[in-house]
Amino acid sequence: MCGIAGRVHADAARPVTEAELRAMCARMEKRGPDDEHVYVGKGAGLGARRLSIQDVPGGRQPLSNEDGTVWATFNGEIYNFKELREELSAKGHRFASKTDTEVLVHLYEEAGERMVERLDGMFAFGLWDAKRRRLLLARDRMGKKPLFYWQEPGGIAFASGIWPLMALPDLPRAVDSTAVDDFFGLKYIPSPRTIFKSVRKLPAAHLLIWESGRSRIVRYWKPRFLPKTKLTMAEAEAECVRLLRAAVARRLTADVPIGAFLSGGLDSSAVVALMAERGKVSTFTVGFEDEAVSETAYARLVADRFGTEHHEETVRLDALEVLPELSRHFGEPFADSSAVPTFYLARAARRRITVALNGDGGDEAFAGYGWYRLLRRFRHADLLPSSLKGALERLTRTWAAHPFEPLRKAARLCAYVSWTPSRRYADAVSYVHTHLRPSLYRPEFLETLGGHDPQTSLAMLFDSGEGDLLDKNLWADWSSFLPDQLCVKMDVATMANSLEARSPFLDRELVEFCASLPSEWKLGNQGGKLLLRKAFEKILPREIVTRAKQGFVVPLTHWMRDPGVRARLEEIVATRDSPCMEYLRRDAMENALREHASGKRNWAGLLWSVLVFDAWGREVLKR
């Protein structure tokens, strides 16, 4: 697990200096605290910060092939690297280390850009072919590992984050207004956009090929939702356990201590149960002073059942303390509040382990989120006549911003009845809804957006999927929410503590299997995940299998009423040069603070986003 960086110029006579590579690497020390190394060639250079997991003494990178013409810098884990190594050795390739990184350069010699199709794991890498002056950048299928790049005329630079790229003094820092709109609407910025106009994210399951100053981006994998499996449900339950067991086993390879995050939810409990089949497990849970959001009792239940070496830590969440550091690691505004407890959990686990398995991806694979069931409840509304839908939509526009809360709730119901499925989905996963933007955004900011609306983009993504409503919903989540929010949160929170996170539910074979399952086998009537619950009902405690999803939440509503937090928000809103008040109306924010403090209306999500954006502006943008 590493932080990677690199820069390449089309003109081989234009140097890439060791100093600029090391400047980028220095900003990724937490990602790779064990080692730093750079390669400098003609008009090209790669760098890496290493967290040693495999071949601890001999795995320094960047690594090259035998004659030094192909170099790779790599972040992640290739779970099938031993099989690939044996295959390549049989073809005459010679290896100088026991790492998975070295497999990349030899696999490229055999398969070229199609090498990524052979890789099973989580990864982001840069591979430089000095003979062809060709750079390959790649991200894994689920987007577990990040990769950002800046393409300038005649060159390209890349890194594991925006913050290291900003070590390059010539990187333009103009903010992208549409990205700001995305952030306030969704709490994250979907790929390929970033907060800066000049920087892009490489989307999950994509490969960028840069050669002679030109680049092209190709998708190399996507899940297929059709045709559906021909297995019986009983056979599918057994296959589910088999595939997850194999996914867990693949993720237990390391030369350092391994453990697991245990929330007491269904997904992490299933992972721990299968880990326990192979030996003693160290599990880690963070509890909170507020018992209403703490899951420690359920985690203890699972730990006791499987005899784990359980570590539990109660923490007091202090957002104002941790936000500056998290802002630098994220590199752009990111307002999923569960990143804060995840950060504390990773910090506690890192005292004893270097690798942690988790339950991420279970909700996307088996339909565990509430919005999946919400869309199903409104599916019959699509049969209503268009005249009635039009009347309901007019009521929506009239009541949506009404100060009387029952009318606002009625407006939401009318909207969901009148809208298309894709628009319902986009609204369900949004936080600042389309109808609120004119009252919250400064008029001059709205003008710069040119009609952009993050909900429109999500609706188009939903409609591009195949299969039924749930399949399209899952496709949209796997394309945006999963790689750009869930995976980003886990990667940043863990790597900020020099801890590697591995996610068995995001195993390619398991994901492809889940895509083939009929929707009724997923949704069920107990909060989703019907097949997963049935598959593990004889393995896990009954209380875990039957409990409703809680999620890794913080008491955000109460948090935003804390006197210290409110004082900070009032300062942000009143300060003339506050980063976020360039985009938000001051009168609207003052009103939101008053309404939230009095309990008249819940503005916790918006207020948290303001705190996050302000911290990012001060810690990243203005540095």
289-306: string of b/e by CB count within 10 Å (b at 16+)?
Answer: eeeebbbbebbbebbebb
Give the pLDDT of residue 401. Answer: 67
Last residue of a domain, one of 469, 491, 512: 469
| 72 lies in the same domain as 115 | yes
| 140 lies in the same domain as 160 | yes
The residue-averaged pLDDT of 365-391 equals 84
Give the pLDDT of residue 513. Answer: 98
Please choose, from the candidates 431, 412, 484, the residue with its C-alpha nearest in 3D space to the C-alpha of residue 610. Answer: 431
Pairing of strands 258-261, 355-357: parallel
What pTM value is reported for the model? 0.94
- Look at 297 and 208; give whichever has higher pLDDT: 208
Side chain identity at residue 88, one-letter code: L
Give the pLDDT of residue 56. Answer: 59
| 381 lies in the same domain as 491 | no
8 Å CB contact between 170 and 17: no
Stretch among 57-66, 222-231, 295-304, 453-462 having the lowest mean pLDDT:
57-66
Measured CA to CA, the distance from residue 610 to residue 49 in angstroms comes to: 32
Measured CA to CA, the distance from residue 48 to residue 25 in angstroms comes to: 6
| 309 lies in the same domain as 424 | no
| 29 lies in the same domain as 125 | yes
Measured CA to CA, the distance from residue 191 to residue 204 in angstroms comes to: 9
Please choose, from the candidates 439, 438, 414, the residue with its C-alpha nearest in 3D space to the C-alpha of residue 427. Answer: 414
The per-residue pLDDT for range 248-297, each reduced to its tens digit, is 999 998 888 999 999 989 999 999 999 999 999 999 998 876 655 567 88
Does 551 reside within a domain? no
Residue 19 pLDDT level (bands cut at 50, 70, 90): very high
Sign of CA pseudo-dihedral 82, 83, 88, 92: positive
Does 225 reside within a domain? no
Measured CA to CA, the distance from residue 183 to residue 190 in angstroms comes to: 9
The residue-averaged pLDDT of 29-35 equals 88
The residue-averaged pLDDT of 350-364 equals 96
Give the pLDDT of residue 54. Answer: 61
Give the pLDDT of residue 500. Answer: 95
Give the pLDDT of residue 254. Answer: 83
The per-residue pLDDT for range 577-607, each reduced to its tens digit, is 899 999 999 999 999 999 999 998 899 999 9
**Confidence check: pLDDT of 230 > 70:** yes
Give the pLDDT of residue 378. Answer: 86
Does 239 reside within a domain? yes
Q: Is 374 exposed, middle or buried (CB count within 10 Å of its CB: 0-12, 13-18, 19+)?
A: middle
Please list, in sequence order, all residues whose beta carbon lies within 8 angstroms of the beta carbon of residue 567, skipping any fewer than 6 positions away.
none
Last residue of a domain, one of 469, 488, 512: 469
Residue 372 pLDDT level (bands cut at 50, 70, 90): very high
| 464 lies in the same domain as 497 | no
Please tell me the total count of domains within the chain. Answer: 4
| 177 lies in the same domain as 296 | no
Residue 196: DSSP 8-state: B
| 403 lies in the same domain as 333 | no
Does 608 reside within a domain? yes
Helix, strand or coil for residue 155?
strand
Residue 39 pLDDT level (bands cut at 50, 70, 90): very high
Token match 């993504």: residue? Answer: 461
**Confidence check: pLDDT of 552 > 70:** no
> What is the H or E stretch that residue 63 is in?
strand 63-64
**Confidence check: pLDDT of 246 > 90:** yes
| 92 lies in the same domain as 207 | yes
The residue-averaged pLDDT of 471-475 equals 97
The residue-averaged pLDDT of 375-393 equals 79
183-217: string of b/e by CB count within 10 Å (b at 16+)?
Answer: bbbbbbbbbebbbbebbbbbbbbbbbbbeebeeee
**Confidence check: pLDDT of 51 > 90:** no
| 198 lies in the same domain as 334 | no
Measured CA to CA, the distance from residue 584 to residue 588 in angstroms comes to: 8
Does 227 reside within a domain? no
| 355 lies in the same domain as 378 | no
CATH of the domain at 171: 3.60.20.10
Does 307 reside within a domain? yes
Q: Which tokens in the block code for residue 89?
A: 């050795």
For the chain, helix (H) and strand (E) counts, in that order, are 28, 17
Residue 240 pLDDT level (bands cut at 50, 70, 90): very high
CATH of the domain at 265: 3.40.50.620
Last residue of a domain, one of 165, 197, 219: 219
Does 427 reside within a domain? yes
Percent of the chain whose predicted confidence (pLDDT) is above 70: 96
Does 240 reside within a domain? yes
| 152 lies in the same domain as 41 | yes
The per-residue pLDDT for range 67-123, each reduced to its tens digit, is 999 999 999 999 999 999 999 999 999 998 888 999 999 999 999 999 999 999 999
Which residues span the domain enclosing 129? 2-219
